[in-house]
Structure 1
Amino acid sequence: MHESPIIDIGGFRLDLSVVIMLAVTSLIVFVIARLSVRKLSVESPSGLQNFMEWAVEFIRNTIASTMPMKYGKAFVSLGMTLIIFIFVGNILGLPFAVITEHDKPVEAIATANSAVFEELKAEGEEHPHVGLLWWKSPTADLGVTFGLALVVFVIVHYLGLTRNRKHYLKHYFHPYWFFLPLNIIETIAKPATLGMRLFANIFAGEILISTIIKAGFYGIPLLVVWQGFSVFIGAIQAFLFTILTMVYIAQAAVHEEH
């Protein structure tokens, strides 16, 4: 069975695989950003420069579909960061998985798997065997996707309170004052569904890939097809997260009526 390598720091259970994959994702995004602005040229732009120019224009058009660009131009960088970071994170787990096999708890991460070994022994297994999964899509972890959704939640409501306070507060009592509880529930549900949607799609994809791999040689054709489809799903989920973020920003900070 595969478990996550978890350590206990000050009472907090920290998943090392998530920390590692978040660092890898951030590094890849940083490298892409740096390479795309190296040796900028108007006459003979590089392929990466052309791609990034297309990506920026795509994000601008996406934002323009949710709010006037006189407001939306300030969020182009946010949109680019979100869509690239989430897309890279979505597809990192596709090529391969890094798993270490263990027949006894690892001292360095004893809190991660000692309980698992004890549970397996209680179930009657004389020689428990546990695999620790170190490489996976960070967005296949609910904590990561909810963390991203929380960042969006804070940004949206900060902008609403600082840029459009009167109408932002008024919308909680729309269309009538007794709708306040429902509007609060809606406000909380938006980031919750944002994080859950991203997690569910990526996690389900990785579970299916691991299931196909168990089929061995006969699963290779299906694995190739599914991995290609997973790249498409990863791109769609990155786009949905980004455009919904812009919609929420527009509703809170730009639109006067909801």
Structure 2
Amino acid sequence: MHEAPVIELYGIPLDLSIIIPMIVSCIIVFVLAKVATRNLSVENPGKLQNFMEWVVEFVQNQIASTMDLKHGRPYIGLAITLIMFIFVSNMLGLPFGIVMGYDSAADATIFGQPITTAVEAFNTAAAAGNAHPHVEVAFWKSPTADVSVTMTLAAIVFLVVHFQGMTKNTKGYFKHYLEPYPVFLPINLIEQFSSLLTHGMRLYGNIFAGEVLIAVILKLSAVGAVGLVASIPMMMIWQGFSIFIGAIQAFVFMILAMVYISQKIVKHEDH
């Protein structure tokens, strides 16, 4: 079992296996958007510009399937950001992993700071009488394979959804909680928070399970020659399937966000 590379900065625990890939995801999405829109051309668009135009058109069509574009147009930027950031984040853990092994607590440091999870593992091993402990720390994974990331994304969408509902459809928003009868208020409240939970956990469960299976296949390759030979086609197949799953989950997260927004801002008479 690999430990997470957690360090403390001013008393705040920071998991580098989440922070570093998230920064990389943000940089990749920003660079793609910047390069695609740097030299826009109507007569001779480049391949990247064509790709971004396809993404925009695809997202716009999906929003149009959930609400009238007169309501949905302001959320195109949000939807594009969500689908691109989540897709890139889903892909980061597929090509490779970075795992470092430590044989003593003194060596388990990064940026001059001790890796607290590794130090705790060494202390636990010493208390158990293990004279030669070895701790492995995983520094790289898909950010969306961590529940704190996916639930934070879901919470951001949750806040946006309810803020938009309260400001753009105030009467209908609050009336919804009392429908069809006021006695249904507790059930309607539970429904809102359950949608927050399922929105984040669905993404986390799919990506985390995929990375666990990749780790199992890598373990198989270390068993012997037979395991190595068997793991190669298995890894190729699962990598391809993981790309498909990563794309589907990015789409599902984005489209659910748009559905939740449409449910809150669109008045009944607009349906």
Q: 2:240 aligns with which of 217, 224, 228?
A: 228
Q: Which runs of 5+ in 1 are unaligned?
A: none
Counterpart amino acid of residue 180 in structure 2: P
How far apart, in 1, do the equivalents of 2:260 and 2:211 lie? 29
Aligned residue in 2 for 1:53? 53
Aligned residue in 1 for 2:90? 90
Classify the secondary structure of the residue corresponding to 1:173: coil
Q: Which runs of 5+ in 2 are unaligned?
A: 222-227
Per-residue deviation, residues 83-135 of structure 1 (Å, max 9, x unmatched): 00000000100000011111122242242321112223344432111111111
How far apart, in 2, do the equivalents of 1:40 and 1:162 lie? 36
Instruction: State the shift of 1:35 in Å.
Output: 1.1
Aligned residue in 2 for 1:187? 192
Counterpart amino acid of residue 259 in structure 2: V
In structure 2, the CA distance between the partners of 1:188 and 1:11, relative to structure 1 (3 Å rule), is farther
Per-residue deviation, residues 157-205 of structure 1 (Å, max 9, x unmatched): 0001000010100111111111111111111111111110000000000
Conserved? CA contact 1:100–1:131, under 8 Å:
yes
Aligned residue in 2 for 1:17? 17
Aligned residue in 2 for 1:142? 147
Aligned residues: 258
Moved over 4 A (4+): none
What does 1:205-220 align with in structure 2 at a 5 Å threshold? Answer: 205-216=210-221, 217-218=228-229, 219-220=231-232
Counterpart amino acid of residue 242 in structure 1: M
Identity fraction in percent: 53
How far apart, in 2, do the equivalents of 1:225 and 1:179 lie? 48
> Aligned Cα RMSD in Å?
1.5
Q: 1:171 aligns with which of 165, 168, 176?
A: 176
